[in-house]
Amino acid sequence: MRRSDKEINDPGMISQIIGKCQVCRLGLAKDNVPYIIPVSFGYDGTSLYVHTAKSGKKIEFFEANPKVCLEFEHGVNLKPHDNDPCSWSFSFQSVIGSGVISELTDPEEIISALQLIMKQYSNQEWSFTGESIKSLRIWKISIESLSGKQSKDMVSA
């Protein structure tokens, strides 16, 4: 990372940032064509879980190339400057990572992943039945790397 003064090395802090996020953006590629999508997600500290419909464009990309890029951001605020347009900046925390995506097929793993996704947003346990999960697919991203970055004003936040 070019700006080591903004780097986050603490895995616990990276997990905290991910825990505060509402959206993860996935960077995908198929036939040398990039594609970025926002997804809801669940996170267990080593893997990310996302759900999709039974078919669609992102599934085509997942199946063509299982390597994905992850992006999270939190606390983003514009910091304008009154006199110098080159002094405008942002307050932020972000996490970038990479991993490999695969589909979950075991019903117990699917329900566990759905619990993690719902925990990200509701911090509550939910019930899922075999019938309720028939209309979706669940995907696991095995995380290979994560790195964090934050603006200087967020260091003590």
Query: What mean pLDDT value characterizes the chain?
Result: 88
pLDDT at 4: 63
**Does the pLDDT at position 156 exceed 60?**
no
What confidence category does residue 127 fall into, taking pLDDT thresholds of 50, 70 and 90?
Answer: confident
pLDDT at 2: 56
What confidence category does residue 6 fall into, taking pLDDT thresholds of 50, 70 and 90?
Answer: low
pTM: 0.87
Rounded distance between C-alpha atoms, residue 122 and residue 46, angstroms: 20
Beta strands at 24-30 and 47-52: parallel, antiparallel or unpaired = unpaired
pLDDT at 84: 83
pLDDT at 87: 75
| Nearest partner of 98 among 20, 26, 11, judged by Cα | 26
Q: Residues 56-78: pLDDT tens digits?
A: 999 999 999 999 999 999 877 77
